[in-house]
Amino acid sequence: MKSIINLLRQLLFWLLFFALSRALFIVYHFHFFRVENVTAAELFSVFYYALPLDLATACYILIIPFLILTIQSFRSLPCLNTINKTYTYLMVVLYAFITGGEIGLYGEWKSKINVKALRYLENPSEVYNSADSTVFFILIIITLVLAGAGIYSYHRFFYKNIHRPAKPWQAVAFVLVTPLFLFLGLRGGWQEIPINQSRCYFSQKNILNLTATNNAFNLYISLFENAKNLHNNPFTFYDPATARSTTQKLLTVEKDTTLRILNTMRPNIVMLILESWSADLIESLGGEAGITPSFAALEKEGLLFTKMLSSGSRSEQGMACIFGGFPAHALSAITLQPDKFIHLPGLVKTLRKQGYHSSFSFGGQLIYGNIKGYILNNGFDRVTEGSDYPDSLTHGKLGVHDEYTMQHLIADLKTEKEPFFAALFTLSSHSPYDQPMEEVLDWGGNERRYINSAYYSDRSLGQFFAAARQQPWYDSTLFIIVADHSHNSYRNHPYHTIAYHSIPM
């Protein structure tokens, strides 16, 4: 029992220490919060939205104390008390330095501390020389005070020495039960996708999202995503002059051949992003007949692009390409690196300047690939995800299925101010393919369930357009239907082929 109480006291300490570090950041940079017109309610919300990621970070830190307490549950070894406290002191000092570095960094970079900042530590004299001396010493004092306060409070109020082993049944219970709770805490719960920075994103004011994101967790992700290429660019294939010349040739337009197809210069825009749709689902693109009849009917009313290729093979890569024009690359996804994507242009940012009201809808949770963080940074006025839909709607394992999210979008757009930009990301054509209808297609081999899920999504698409045609905004709306990426099909194309990555639009 003492081991459990000891671990819980350590957990409470870390949550409070993280909150204290966050409060110091807010106080130091309070003028930035005022510039962003942050309200008191929004400021306090930071601490609420920070809790899940703080809890996950604390659980990672507590793995070592858990192992020490496990030994102490069976054997009395006084030296382990010292080891446990020393470990925590080191973690406190490390986190204090991360916080101090981030406080100093934010004023210049407007981002959290990341792997790029650590690279400058290779030349500490440059770091000192490039900083204002007064600011530098203030940050050192803040770091030392934070570390000292953490060590003192931990020693004085939280850690209690264990002098004798627990009762056998208590020791066994501690060893069997505690790992389960640590595991749930560090991955953020039972959900299919482990926790990441998206869990802390809740506002269009990026400073609030960054403040809510745990410093250590964010730095770890930055290191993990970039560790292999800290000192080299793996994508350097041309010298700069050749690359510039080639790019200019590709972008040169000898004659403007643009076709004007719209009846208004400021149309509403509805973008339907189809999860994992391969070109093999579309008969006119070479696929088998009968999989997507609703899409086939829409082809007669619009323009079909017959040579579309996906950029990457994951949804987070597709979102960055669709909304930011950022191509996928082999090592990471730009959505996983908030310190980078905040500097990128975005489609929604551009539309907002033109007076558009924007929304993004998805039946699942956008935490995957930090898509939510990227979407909010893009400037969407309203983001609706799985937990925002009524519980009465039919849910699958991943979230609310397509027919219901599309119905919900129709209802939302009835009250949306024009011009609007509404994006909806479908879900049902993603495994585990538990769409709420019986399978219609009895062929497809290893991808039979996939093509049946696409059939369901296509049926939902047809129902959506039937409802949309009854709306007063329909005639002044541009509809864009595009896949986020492709998927293996019943033809089992090799991954490296064009056929595998072909998608409909």
Give, for 477, the enclosing helix (H) or strand (E): strand 477-483
* pLDDT(130) > 60: no
Which pLDDT value is given to residue 397?
87
- Quick one: pLDDT at residue 452? 96
φ, ψ of residue 378 to 5 degrees: the values are -65, -20
Residue 129: pLDDT band (50, 70, 90) is low
Q: What local confidence, expressed as pLDDT, does residue 122 receive? A: 60
Query: How many residues does the structure list for the chain?
Result: 505
DSSP bridge partners of 421 = 269, 358
Question: Structure pTM?
Answer: 0.75
- Kind plus residue range of the DSSP H or E element containing 10: helix 2-28
Please state the rounded mean pLDDT for residues 383-411: 93
pLDDT per residue over 304-315, tens digit each?
999 999 988 889
Asked if residue 395 has pLDDT above 60, the reply is yes
Assess whether pLDDT exceeds 70 at residue 235. Answer: yes
Mean of the per-residue pLDDT values of the chain: 90
Structure tokens at 333: 């996804």
Closest of 423, 407, 422 to residue 470, by C-alpha = 407
Q: What is the pLDDT of residues 146-182, one digit of tens each?
A: 999 999 999 999 988 887 777 778 778 888 989 999 9
Q: Where in the chain is the domain with CATH 3.40.720.10?
A: 260-501
User: What confidence tier does 319 reach under pLDDT thresholds 50, 70, 90?
Assistant: very high
H-type helices in 110-239, by residue range? 115-119, 124-129, 133-153, 168-187, 206-212, 215-226
CATH 3.40.640.10 fits 260-501, yes or no: no
Whether pLDDT at 428 is above 90: yes
Residues 318, 310: contact at Cβ < 8 Å? yes
Stretch 451-476: mean pLDDT, rounded?
97
Residue 129 class from Cβ within 10 Å (0-12 exposed, 13-18 middle, 19+ buried)?
exposed
pLDDT tier at 76 (50, 70, 90 boundaries)? Answer: confident
Closest of 320, 299, 302, 301 to residue 310, by C-alpha: 320
Q: How confident is the model at residue 124 (pLDDT cuts 50, 70, 90)?
A: low
DSSP summary character for residue 385? -
Q: What is the pLDDT of residues 279-307, one digit of tens each?
A: 999 999 999 999 999 999 999 999 999 99
The CA distance from 498 to 308, in Å, is: 10
Average pLDDT rounded to a whole number, residues 436-458: 94
Distances (CA, A) of 397 to 94, 365, 374, 425, 431: 39, 11, 24, 16, 9
pLDDT at 446: 85
Tell me which residue has tokens 């290191």.
223
CA distance 380 to 250: 31
- At residue 59 the predicted structure's pLDDT band, cuts being 50, 70 and 90, is very high
First to last CA, the chain: 60
* Spatial CA neighbour of 423 closest among 367, 366, 361: 361
- pLDDT-derived band of residue 127, with 50, 70 and 90 as boundaries? low
Structure confidence by residue, pLDDT tens digits, 5-55: 899 999 999 999 999 999 999 999 998 898 889 999 999 999 999 999 999
Question: At 451, which amino acid appears?
Answer: I
The set of residues, in sequence order, having a beta carbon less than 8 Å from that of 448 and lying 6+ positions away, is: 439, 441, 442, 490
Give the pLDDT of residue 392: 87
pLDDT reading at 125 higher than 80: no
